[in-house]
Amino acid sequence: MRGATAARSIAGGVCLVMPGPVLRAIGGADAADPTVRWLARLLGARYLAQAAVGWAITGARAARVGVAIEAAHAASMVPFVVGSHRHRRTAVVSATVAGAIALLELRTGEHP
């Protein structure tokens, strides 16, 4: 089983199906915000779509694309980490998960 793809599958399923408990567990000030819950579901759908591709396509190019997507995701959270007290904690966790998945993809040999 490929680690990064499995991690995306799990994170995606959890975010899509139960964004409320995930956001409450994070403990951010935005946990009850319906827009943030919708965005968590959207992120879950993205993770699941990317995982589906990851299960079907392997190799160095697929790994590079996966790492680039996670790096872009993490970078997109920086403005919220820096500029939004309300969304800071959620953005930090989101960026951390994206970074961890990217590192997992690099470290588990899912590339030559």
Q: What's the pLDDT tens digit per position in 38-65?
A: 999 999 999 999 999 989 988 888 888 9
Q: Which pLDDT belongs to residue 60?
A: 84
Helix axes 88-107, 3-17, angle to 10 degrees: 150
- Domain boundaries in the chain? 3-107
Dihedral through CA 88, CA 65, CA 101, CA 58, nearest 10? Answer: 160
How far apart are alpha carbons 102 and 72 in whole angstroms?
10
pLDDT beyond 50 at 1: no
Is the whole-model pTM more than 0.85?
A: yes
Q: What's the pLDDT tens digit per position in 59-100?
A: 888 888 999 999 999 999 999 999 999 999 999 999 999 999
Q: Which pLDDT belongs to residue 112?
A: 43
